[in-house]
Each structure stands twice: as structure tokens, then as C-alpha cells.
Chains A and B, each alone.
Chain A
Amino acid sequence: MLRAMAQSALDEVLAGLPPGAEPVVETTGEPVAVEAALRDAPDLGIVVLAGPVPDRPPPVDLYGDLHVRGLTVVCVPPAHDIP
């Protein structure tokens, strides 16, 4: 049920992206993978964070990738947070 809700939320997010967008979708929630997704996304690209939310997330440096390279990070709410 939860997986279905999460998939639905992700589908909704992807459907809302601009036409032709080629997002990097991160589905593991692992901090290392999130970092890699930000790093590997093209300039002005889109990263969709759709994995589980870690309990103790490490700090994130938003400067080099998100800010300077003009990324858009689309957060998909975790399944249990979806109303």
C-alpha cells in the first residue's frame, strides 16, 4: 500500500516536470547516493529525491551543485507523510 502511494507521488512529481526534462531520480535515500545524484545531474538539471528519508541525515553542501549549477531538487514526500 505504502509503496503504491509512494509510486503514485513520484508519478505525480514526474508528470509535473517541464516537457523534455530528464531528471535524475534518486530512489535509495542513501546519503552517498543523494550526493552522487546531485553531482551527476547536468547543469540546470533536475534531481528527484524519491528514496526513504534517513533517520540521521548528514549535513549537505548545497553550494557547489544545487546553488552554483542551478539544479532543481524535487522532493517527493516519504510515503508515510503522504496524507
Chain B
Amino acid sequence: MSSIDAALGALGHEGPELLAARRDVVDWGRARVRAARNRGGVVGGVGVVVTARGRAELRPVEHALAGPGEITVELLESAISPGTERAQWLRLPNAQPDFPYLPGYSGAGRVIAAGAGVSGIGEGDLVAVARVPHASVATVPAAYATPVPDGVELAEAALVYLAIISGYGVRRAGIAAGDALCVVGAGPIGALAQRLAALAQPGHVTVVAASGRREASARLGGADRFLTTADDVDAVEAGIVIEATGDPGALATAVAAARPGAMVVLLGSPRGTTPGELLVAARRKGLRLVGAHISALSKEAKRDGGDPFQELAHLFLDGLARGAISAADLAGEALDAREAQLAYRRLARGAIEGGHFDWTLVPAGERVRRRALVGVPPLRRSPEASAPAAPAERRVAGTRSLRFSLVGCGDVGLHNARAIAAATGAELVASYDPVEALAAAVSERVGGEVAAELDEALDPDRVDAVFLCVPHDLHTPLVEQAAAAGLHAVVEKPLAVDLAAAERAAEAAAGAGVALSVCFPYRHEPAMAAARELVAAGALGEPHGVTVAFHADKPESYWVGGFSGRSPSGWRGSLERAGGGVLIMNLTHYVDFVRHVAGLEPVRVSAATRTEPGAEVEDGVAITVEFAGGALGSVSGSASTRGAPPSRFELWGEVGSLRLEPEPAVYTESAAAGVAPGRWCALPEDDGVDPRRVFVERFAAAVLRGEPPEAGAADGLAVQAFVDAAYRSARDGIPVDVATYASSHGPVRAR
């Protein structure tokens, strides 16, 4: 083990991360050695580094400023070579560079330094640069650069090395005017070969591709005929065939398209061995097979002298400037290098056919920085998870207060009383419980009066809203009573004991024009709020799945008095009073999270439950969920998991994943989400603010503004519909569709 590895290992690096960190250190040192030799400075930026299978990220790159015969370029665009870079990403044969590696080899940008002896290129010039990886800055031999003529788009000029590669194939073909030409492959290399070959004015030009997707591109390049490999390729009878894909199957197509005695130029790098029968077919036709890998051009230059690279670069760039070659369609989509991993995934599955990294999308401060010649090598601790910014201010300021009464002063009632008392814009006026001692305890601990009768707690002259913390079967009757009195109502989740009762509660509130809200306070935990913002910013992309595995280890005493035993009652174990067990009691929070955070609406469920012998309500439940849009979910819960291991709650999508329990964190390939793409980042931890207090503040603020509350009746109904469908599915043993609800509320009457 090297001393660098030992140092990095001690700093927590291991596996691919250690290799990548070692690359950073070596890159740092190499740049300084060269800079010292050049008696110049060091410039830093960022580059795409593939660190492991399927992993690409931006990492620091450092270069000595241009020495003799060199230039330093701020790259503004770098072209993706779809064939090679896709092959490398997929680790196809002959395309397996060691990790970590910097992909890419063609770009364009502005010269920021020119070394001694460089002529024809100076600072500020725009140049196309061959043999540069995908990076924001690079120091290269000046011979690799070619000035970009006026009027040529940089994204097109950035294709220069692909054009050199393609041009070499054309050059090896020795096309003469009138030659019948066939190009196999219509990707950027094939298209560039076709377009460069067109400068030699061949005769009939045929393009053969795997599918018809690129016919327009081939026609734009001047193809007289476009075929797919499913067509009769034998009839092509071309005198010159350029095979531009490297696919062994495409080589068979090339041989088939060649007339006897023809030349077949192998421009694409073969990805795998070639069947022996193919060579036999070539023998029988008397073909000439000509290798045209770009490395052979270096051998030609060495043998023949001159600079064929520059010749081909000029041929391409001048062709663009004159309008003799078009390449706008080949430059493809502008991609954000911070999302390189996403770009390669899309490339690998054929979602994009080409593209270029637009380095101007990366913040300017990261792209080019002068660095100190002397300093400390980047022996940094393994990257700390970088938490996204905490959600915006959670307090809601207001000049008026919403006057609350509390009905039900058991365990959760006490929690909610504290939340009301602590909330800005809310006031606890009175508490009621049939067991007066419980109400007195709330009054004593939190404040407010004790209401001797329920009517006092629902007196519209004294209070504006009631917070109901009562057994589930009492939710609806009390909502109806409150609505009749003109009071807004909050119910501790769920909305009601069952769906029919929930619908009646919603109708009562809507009919009275009062707000009805279900207390889903954990929406306001910092991690959950951050997750919602991240999803909205595109951190997941299209949602694909959800896992919820809730675990609790409820003691036997819970079923007769809750967790604290303050309010002895067996309602939690009564199917009639509670409506169910762990699903309606606990998983309702998660169902709300999934809807609230990811916007996923359940449409169909298949459920099974487990109930202890002699018990009425289920102790365990397992639900398979289908969501609108195609995402799938697995939701399970147990109230008696001994030892209560950490619950799990995960959401994932096209470009990212969220882990909300345990240890909330996000992983995304999107740069738009505001977190470092391609690595797990912790979400904000508990900030010490009671989420119930935030819930109350937001409810009060909404009502005082005359607006519907955030967690309204429609949300409560949606969760209740899920619960209802799951119970019916478990009872009947069949999948059940989940009822959907539009918001049933009109405007809320402000108080």
C-alpha cells in the first residue's frame, strides 16, 4: 500500500472512493511538478471522473499553466462520443479503461494561456481541441488545438476529434468522385464520415443503420438511399463501405453491402470477436478490409511526416464555416456535467443518441480557478454528507390568534395542547375531557380553562376551532357538532373510523364552510419538508417506488391505556371504535407522507393482515400498492416487532432515491436538486422545533387568511380511502381499487 493510500485510508476512504481520492492527489502533485518545471502557475477546475461501474461524478482537476508548446484552455463545450463512451460505460469488449478514468476526448473553448513557442494561437482565441477529456479546463499541446473559424458554433466545433476520427476513415477509403459509397452506422461517427466523404463527391451514397431513427440525419448529410439492417443490404453493391459502429453484426452488414472486390473500412472499433464465417464471406468476395483506428493515424504521421490531425481538423472546421458540412444535429443535447452519471445512464439505454457537456452550466467559480503552487495536497476526509439547506422559516407570523379548544385530553391530547400553546397565531382557550382530571391536568400544565361540558368547548363565542383528540369513532360526530357550531376542526389522524364516516365529516365541514384538517404533523419534520422540496426540484425524477416497513413493539398495556396509561381505555383494541390496528393507527402517517412528499396517489392495493388470536384489530399488515403513473409500493407494518428495529421508509425514482427512515438522506443524479449529484447526502436533522407546533401554526394562519388548511379533508379522505381499500382487500383476498377524492372544500369562512 502506498503512503498516499495509507493516508487516505486513515481519512476514511475505501474502495472506489479511495482510488478516486488518490487520483485527485496524484493529479494535484503532477500539476505542481509541471508548473515548477514551467516556472508557471497552476489552474484548477472540475472534470467528469468515472470512479466505478455505473458511477460518474465531477471531481477536481488541476493543470500546470501552459508550458512551452502548450496552451491552457477553458473548455466551454465537450462532445460526447456516443459509441466509445457508451461502450466504456457498459464495459464492452475493447472499452474497459481502469477506474478511475476521465472519459471524453473532444472539446472547444477559450485559450486562457499560451506557452512559449506557440504560434497562431493566443490568449482569448476560441479553439477546437482534440484529445481532451470532459473537463472545464485543460492544458494540452498546442498541436491538439485548431482555431475555430468565425461563425462556427462551439458545440459543433467541439466535435473536432470525432471528425478527425471519422475523417481518417474517409481518408483510408481513398474515395474518388463517383465511387459508390455505403456507410454502415448513422451515429455521430457514421454521420461525420458520410458528411466528410461527401466533400470528395462520391457517386451513389447509401446509409445503413440498425433502425430508422436517424434517417433524417442521414438524408441531411446527403444520403441517396437509407436502409435498415432488416432491408436487402446485399443489393447495395457498394465499391467502398465504411463500417462506423464496431458492432460485429454491423460488420456482417458491411460485408454484405460490398460488391466483389470492394473495400471495407473498419472505422468503428470492433466490440467483440468477429465470427470466422464473416472472414470467409470477405474472402469469397475478394474484399479489402482496411483498419482505420485513430491510433493508426499517429503511425501514419510518424511514417509520412506532416500533421494529418490538423489537416483533418481544418477540413472539418473549414467545412462547417463554409456550410459544406452541417453538424448542428450531431452536437446533440446540451448536458450538465454535474449530471454526467445521469447522462451516461441515458446514453447507455438509448434515451439520448448524442450530446455535449455544456460547461457554462457549471458555476463559474468551479470551472477555472488559479491555484497556489505550494499548498497542502487534497488529503481530505471522505466526503461528509452535505445536507441541503433547511426548509425556509417554519414559523408563521401573524397579528391575530386562532382560539382553540381541545377535546380529548389523553396522551396525544396533551401533546397537541402543548403545540397549540407554543404556536404563533394560536391560543388554547379551553380543554374538555369526560374525565375532568385529564382536562385539569392539561390546564395546569399548558394553560387555558377547563370546560366542564362539551358545549363549553364548542362555544363559538369563546373559540374559533376545536382540536379533536378522541377515539376514532368519535371524530365524525364531533366534527359534525363543531361544524354545526361554525367551528373549524382539526382531528388527530385518521380523519374518521372508516371511509363512510370520513365522507360524512368532510361533507359536514364543507357544508358549514369551515376548515377541516387532519393532524399529519410529521410533514413538518425538517427531513420530510426537505424531501418534499427535493422531489419538487426533480431529485427523484419520475417516481418509481416506495418501501415502508414500520416497526413498533407495543406493550400489552398499550391496548388498555395507551403508551402512558394516563387515560385507561380499551378503545384502541376495539374494531368498532378504532376501525383497525396498526394500519389505521400508524401507517396512515406514511400514506400521507407518500402523497405529500412525492405526490404519489395510490390507485390499487393488495393487502393481507395478521391478527393475534382473540384480538379484534390487526397486529400486522402487508400491502402491495400501485400508484397512478405506474410506481409501485410495498407498505408493511407491525405493532409487535420485538425489539422494534428501525422502521424503513424509502422513495425512489428515475434519477434518485430518498431514504427517510432511518437516517434521512438523498441520492440524486440531478444537479437541479441543489445537492451534490451522485452521492448520498444527509437530510436536515431534527431542529428542535415540535412539528405539531408548526402544524398548528400553519393551520391557524391558513384559517385566519380564509384559506383551506394544508392537510385538508381531501388529504384525510385520500388516506382513509387507502385504509378502507386495504382492509377490504385483506378481508376479501382480492386487489381493490382505491377511491379518489377531489378537494371537497370551497372557500373557508375566515374568522
Contact = CB atoms under 8 A, between A and B. Distances in A.
A57 B275 CA distance: 8
Contact of B288 (A9, A56, A61, A72): A72
B270 interface: yes
A76 B722 CA distance: 74
Interface of A (DSSP majority class): loop
Contacts of B284: 53, 75, 77-78, 81
A66 B276 contact: no
Interface in B252-298: 260, 266, 269-270, 273-280, 282-293, 295-297
Contact of A67 (B269, B278, B283): B269
Contact of A77 (B94, B270, B283): B283
A31 to B, nearest CB: 7
A4 B641 CA distance: 88
B299 A63 contact: no
Contact of A44 (B269, B279, B300): B300
Contacts of B275: 59
A68 interface: yes
Contacts of B293: 67-70
Given A44-B300, A60-B273, A66 B291 contact: yes
A67 B270 contact: yes
A72 B283 contact: no
B296 A44 contact: yes
Interface residues of A, number: 31
B37 interface: no
A24 interface: no
Interface string A22-44: 00000000010000000000011
Interface string B677-715: 000000000000000000000000000000000000000
Given A60-B279, A63-B269, A73 B289 contact: yes
A49 B280 CA distance: 10
B285 A77 contact: yes
A57 B299 CA distance: 31
A5 interface: no
B593 to A, nearest CB: 52
Contacts of B269: 63, 67-68
Contact of A53 (B270, B280, B288): B280
B303 interface: yes
Q: Point out which of A43, A57, A75 has the most chain B C-beta atoms below 10 A from its C-beta.
A: A75
Given A31-B276, A59-B274, A67-B291, A44 B285 contact: no
A44 B287 CA distance: 17
Contact of B286 (A54, A66, A71, A77): A77
Contact of B274 (A44, A61, A77): A61
Contact of A75 (B274, B277, B289): B289
Nearest to A64: B94
Contact of B266 (A54, A57, A67, A76): A67
A31 B66 CA distance: 50
Nearest to B288: A74
B358 to A, nearest CB: 32
Contacts of A74: 288
Given A67-B293, A68-B295, A75-B282, A54 B276 contact: yes
A56 B276 contact: yes
Contacts of B283: 49, 53, 75-78
Contacts, number: 105
Interface in B150-197: 172
Nearest to A66: B291
Contact of A70 (B260, B274, B288, B296): B296
Contacts of A78: 283-284
Nearest to A13: B286
A65 B284 CA distance: 22
Q: Point out which of B93, B266, B297 has the most chain A C-beta atoms below 10 A from its C-beta.
A: B266
A49 to B, nearest CB: 6
Nearest to B300: A44
Contacts of A31: 276
A62 B94 CA distance: 11
B290 A75 contact: no
A59 B275 CA distance: 4
A26 B280 CA distance: 14
Contacts of B287: 75
A63 B94 contact: yes
Interface in B209-241: none
B291 A72 contact: yes
Contacts of B299: 43-44, 69-70
A62 B266 contact: yes
A41 to B, nearest CB: 11
B105 to A, nearest CB: 16
A44 B282 contact: no
A69 B296 contact: yes
A72 B270 CA distance: 15
Nearest to A75: B283
Given A53-B280, A57-B279, A72 B289 contact: yes
B286 A76 contact: yes
Contact of B292 (A60, A63, A67): A67
B185 to A, nearest CB: 15
A58 B172 CA distance: 28
Interface in B297-313: 297, 299-300, 303
B244 to A, nearest CB: 12
A60 B520 CA distance: 66
Contacts of B295: 68-70
Given A68-B296, A70-B291, A73-B289, A62 B303 contact: no
A9 B270 CA distance: 29
A59 B286 CA distance: 19
A66 B267 CA distance: 11
Nearest to A82: B286
B87 to A, nearest CB: 12
Nearest to B273: A59
B237 to A, nearest CB: 15
A43 B275 CA distance: 24
A77 B94 CA distance: 30
A63 B288 contact: no
Contacts of A67: 266, 269-270, 291-293
Contacts of B296: 43-44, 68-70
Nearest to A51: B283
Contacts of A44: 296, 299-300, 303
A68 B295 CA distance: 6
A43 B291 CA distance: 10
Interface in B586-631: none
A57 B283 CA distance: 12
B688 to A, nearest CB: 62
A75 B290 CA distance: 11
Contacts of A66: 266, 289, 291
Interface in B135-154: none
17 contacts: A44-B296, A49-B283, A53-B280, A53-B284, A54-B280, A56-B276, A57-B279, A59-B274, A61-B270, A63-B269, A66-B266, A68-B269, A72-B291, A73-B289, A77-B260, A77-B285, A81-B284
Nearest first, the 5 closest Cβ-Cβ pairs linking A and B are A70-B296, A57-B276, A59-B273, A73-B289, A77-B286
Given A62-B266, A77-B285, 5 more contacts: A59-B276, A68-B269, A68-B295, A70-B292, A75-B282
Interface of B: 93-94, 172, 251, 260, 266, 269-270, 273-280, 282-293, 295-297, 299-300, 303
